[in-house]
Amino acid sequence: MKRNIVIATIAAAALIGGGTATALAVSGDDDAPAQRSSVQVQDDDANGTDDRDDRDGGDGGDDRHGGDSSDDNAEDAAEARAAKLTAAEAIKAALAAKSGTAVKAELESEDTNLVWEVDVLSSGNTWHTVHVDPGTGKVLGSHTEQEDADDAAEARAALQGGSVSAAEAAEAAAAKGTVTSVELEDEGSGRGWDIDTTGTNGAESEWTVNLTTAKVTADRSSDDGDD
């Protein structure tokens, strides 16, 4: 299940020390005030790095020498280390704010803000996207949407008969590395929790956690595409 949530990021001018404060803006039915994450990460775009690479043809060169991959791994590792709150803890914090069933949690960087983004399926076709501070566990805001009835039905059908929650799946996979993404797979015969982990070197791995046994296995479904 792939649900794309639109998150806007705004810049707010601050007169404190003559600097600029960046706030995470969460739009939606909840009208939650925008709040800034306590965990800030470097924004490569602000340095003009991406534009420079595009002008110089750097993407092609970096790919040949593994530059982009190395940089991405280093960035992923830094973000994983910066998040003091685990995926399981973020899910629990989100559910304390919005009742329902968590079906996805992902560590996201929006400009310089690092946040846990948790999707919660509530009653009917209502979905809440809850933003949790990865440093403090504080809920920064939320966004509510009314999705297609089929999406909710598919998620509930996938969960039927299962006993392993998103938080429990994250805890089960934590031994494999830092969990940065948990998502319910509700299509086809491969029902389960799709988990992404990041190692200390930034290398990413994909896992599947069984919905009834919590058994963790390597996810080979994307091997052909990666090759």
Is the confidence at residue 6, as pLDDT, over 50?
no
Query: Which residue in the block uniquely carries the two structure tokens 């043809």?
Result: 57
d(CA 171, CA 42): 28
Is the confidence at residue 85, as pLDDT, over 80?
yes
What would the pLDDT profile of 9-61 be if each residue is shown by its tens digit? 223 323 233 333 333 333 344 545 558 999 998 765 544 444 434 434 444 44
Cα torsion 57, 59, 63, 68 to 10°: value is 140
How does the average pLDDT of the chain come out, rounded?
78
| b/e burial code for range 86-110 (CB count within 10 A of at least 16 → b) | bbbbbbbbbbebbebebbbbbbbbb
Length of the chain: 227
Regarding predicted confidence, which is higher, 66 or 112? 112
Is the confidence at residue 128, as pLDDT, over 80?
yes
d(CA 6, CA 23): 15
What would the pLDDT profile of 89-111 be if each residue is shown by its tens digit? 999 999 999 999 999 999 999 88
